[in-house]
Structure 1
Amino acid sequence: MKNHLKELIAGSQQKRISYNDYMDAVLYTPNIGYYARAKEKVGPRGDFYTSGNVGDAFGRSLARWFVYLIKRCGVSPRIIEVGAGDGKLAYDILVYIKETEPQIWDSLTYVLVDGSPFHRKIQHERLGIFKQAVSAASLEKWTNVNGIVFSNELFDALPVYVIEKYKGALVEVFVTEKEGDLVEEREPLDNPDILSYLIERKITLNEKQRYEVPLNMIREYEKIVSCIESGILLTIDYGYTDREWKEPAHLQGSLRGYYRHQMIKDALKYPGDMDLTTHIHFDTLIEIGKRKDLSNRGLFLQNEFLLKAGILEELKDHQGTDPFSKTAKRNRAIRGLIVPGGFSEHFKVLLQSKNLADDVKVFPEW
């Protein structure tokens, strides 16, 4: 990977590359990028956990809510998971529907979209027993979708541009090479797409404040929205509203790495071997959604959303003494997902709909 980066830098006109191009290279270059390699990323042998990897309660809660949308809200039995990774979340959702809803099961289509050949291979190994499961490298085949489209930690893994207010002026932060090491370099901001984004979103920075500009997120989101004819769009991720971005705690931006379950502040360390991530811009998604005829059904903390979706229905009475029984482990996972200070406190859930009547109740009363 380091040789590849050196070639990219040497081949660029100014002998530097944007953070956007750096992240794209270290995360997605075929065969050697972090997400493109045949390597476990999630779980104890990976570099991070997701909500879907903390037992099966997260997936079963989503499935329970999906069933409600299909049975009570008139949503078609088609589920598309964008950025489906290793298929663990899809497996939990499918198992729940198979066990509890035979009629929906017979008419269900579940599409797992992921650009990684390694992930699609793992999906096939895990989900090959289900004829309802279909793997796809992209959304291109799926247009005029009626159903449920959702993502879990998709947008935080997309490349971003990094800007900063430095000595009173806006600069873009680039990546270059110096004496064999990757280092940052500041140059006056002149990227018209970044400038347009800042003007449109009315973004102003304080001195020494860093800010990630998510142009890739916008393109990917618009691509997803364009395929939806009617139904639900659910975005689960960590991120901030515009108001939260202005808080002092976020003045250094949010770009960071995760390597062997340790947070690494220096994004230039371990290129190709470390996950890179940023907090996403929820208000941007909401505003674009409005322009694309989506109705905003709410931005929730993840634990709040899970309670609305019925996660407490997964709790079971447990009289046994074995702390490692399936019931005991699931109950612990549920508590970890809903208690203050637990796993869910880092995540938000954006719920949007298209061509559903405004009076349709998208959450049941448990």
Structure 2
Amino acid sequence: MNPKAHEPDSLPAPGPTALAQSETLAVQIRAEIAAAGGWLPFDRYMELALYAPGLGYYSGGAVKFGRRAEDGSDFITAPELSPLFAATLARPVAQALTASGTRQLLEFGAGTGKLAAGLLRALASADVPFDSYAIVDLSGELRERQRETLEAEVPDLADRVRWLDALPATFEGVVIGNEVLDAMPVRLFARLGGVWHQRGVAVQDDGAFAFADRPVDPARDASDTALLSELDDSDDNDSDYVTETHVAALGFTRTVCTMLARGAAFFIDYGFPRHEYYHAQRTQGTLMCHYRHRAHDDPFVYPGLQDITTHVEFTGIAEAGVETGADLLGYTSQARFLLNAGITEALATIDPADTRHFLPAANAVQKLLSEAEMGELFKVIAFSRGIDGTLDAFASGDRTHTL
């Protein structure tokens, strides 16, 4: 790979070991593109860049989660931002466990283990009975970080945690996925001159990756053509337009909701309902990359070393879950969900006179709730089986009617 072909000047250069890992992955991707005849669908490129065994961003050893670029991280999530996020989420989790009569938890993509530790601590403090906490994570490096976090923060509860290599056939309890759906591979489509193309990846003469488009074939791309036709009907179909479809996230949602025999599944992520997601003015889609706390839109920079993500289309997620027979428990903004669940009461337990602890906590809560930060962009959607009614966290401000 020519590393200068996709290396924005604003991004810090990786070290030689990381660059060598990225080059190894690039060689593997080039070989797959060649075997496929010179063109690879973008969702397959994204899958390899994120999940290729031992080399992908999430399956390799990148630091990923942290507060600043200097620690080698690329972004920060809500559980890393404040322990009050986990302490607050624990309340609807506890309510769902009690309402469903279940005693197990399962988390997808547990990051550094901060959310798991916080939930375990809060549930134990509230005397909520639970038997086990399972984690599904593809990264061996992250599993080790999770173990270290749990042993350091909740040593008396760490023995209840187990790691799964595959999903159970059925599960009774509460499922949690914080910023999981946005990391699912997406298909890219571009309307150019009034004609829809699927956007894929090819290799240039210098070895660099580049976007390459081919006209959509209704037979080959049948699962996406209905949506593309709807977009033509709903906006100016002469204008160029780039967007994504979310086959992997929809399939994952169906799998989880089918697996859920009793209990609830919470997904927290950034995104929009369909009518906002596919708005005529969103002409470049939502594809975004994160590297050392800098956001940019080039997915070919340092394959395997940067995060590649898109926003979540929540209407499709809701439909996928309901198709399995699960109930849609609720859908609302992160701010409304956390306020309903009592985050301000949790903050009030810290003495304002103790400025060393109170001010950072208040600043973090402001970021979690503010419309200009995470409060509005992030949404919470939940599905259930065997729970009558809704939960307190969705009792006010539910937006299910907007899906």
- Same fold by TM (over 0.5)? yes
Aligned to 2:162: 134
Are residue 239 (structure 1) and residue 239 (structure 2) matched? Answer: no
The number of residues matched between the two structures is 356
Give how far 1:274 is off. 1.0
Unaligned runs of 5+ in 1: none
Aligned-residue CA RMSD (Å): 2.2
Which of 131, 148, 159 is residue 108 of structure 1 equivalent to? 131
Q: For residues 222 and 126 of structure 2, what CA distance do their matches in structure 1 show?
A: 51
1:148-200 CA-to-partner distances (Å, cap 9, x unmatched) read 11201111111111111112211111111112221111111127464323427
Structure 1 pair 200–263 and aligned structure 2 pair: CA distance change class (3 A): closer
Matched, 1:70 2:97: yes
Q: 1:193-232 counterparts in 2 under 5 A?
A: 194-199=221-226, 203-205=230-232, 206=237, 207-232=239-264
SS of the equivalent of 1:238 reads strand
- Residue by residue over 1:206-239, the C-alpha shift from the partner in whole angstroms, topping out at 9 and shown as x without a partner, is 4311121211112212221121111112111112
SS at match of 1:334: helix
Mark the CA change 1:162 to 1:201 in structure 2 (over 3 Å): closer, same or farther.
Answer: closer
- The AA in structure 2 aligned to 1:131 is D
Aligned to 2:21: none
Code of the aligned partner of 2:62? K
1:279-298 aligned within 5 A: 279-298=311-330
Determine the C-alpha separation between the residues in 2 that align with 1:252 and 1:75. Answer: 45
Partner of 2:297 in structure 1?
265
1:44-96 CA-partner distances (Å, limit 9, x unpaired): 2311111111120111101122223334x244121111122221111111111
Structure 2 gap ranges (5+): 1-24, 397-403
Q: Which residue of 1 aligns with 2:18?
A: none
**Does 1:163 pair with 2:195?**
no
Deviation sequence 1:16-60 (CA, Å, 0-9, x none): 111111111111112221111112101123111111111201111
> 1:86 — aligned with what?
112
**One-letter code aligned to 1:136:** L
SS of 2:198's partner is strand
The answer (yes or no) to whether the contact 1:198–1:204 under 8 Å persists in 2 is: no
1:278 — aligned with what?
310
Task: Determine what percentage of the aligned residue pairs are the same residue.
Answer: 26
Q: Say which SS state the counterpart of residue 95 (structure 2) adopts.
A: helix
Per the alignment, in what secondary structure is the counterpart of residue 204 of structure 1?
helix
Tell me: CA distance 1:281–1:321, structure 2 relative to 1, closer, same or farther (3 Å). same
Q: CA deviation at 1:112?
A: 1.1
Query: Which of 335, 338, 356 is residue 387 of structure 2 equivalent to?
Result: 356
* 8 A contact 1:164–1:173 mirrored in 2: yes
TM-superposition CA deviations, 1:272-302 (whole Å, max 9, x none): 2110001112111111222211222322111
Q: Find out whether 1:306 has 2:334 as its counterpart.
A: no
| SS of 1:76 mapped into structure 2 | coil
Question: Distance in 2 between the 1:200 and 1:171 partners?
Answer: 13
1: CA distance, partners of 2:211 / 2:320 = 32
Equivalent of 2:123, from 97, 107, 110? 97
Question: CA separation of 1:287/1:193 partners in 2, compared to 1, >3 Å: closer, same or farther?
Answer: farther
Conserved 8 A contact 2:108-2:135: yes
Q: Give 2:150's aligned amino acid.
A: L
Structure 1 runs (4+) deviating above 4 angstroms are 317-322
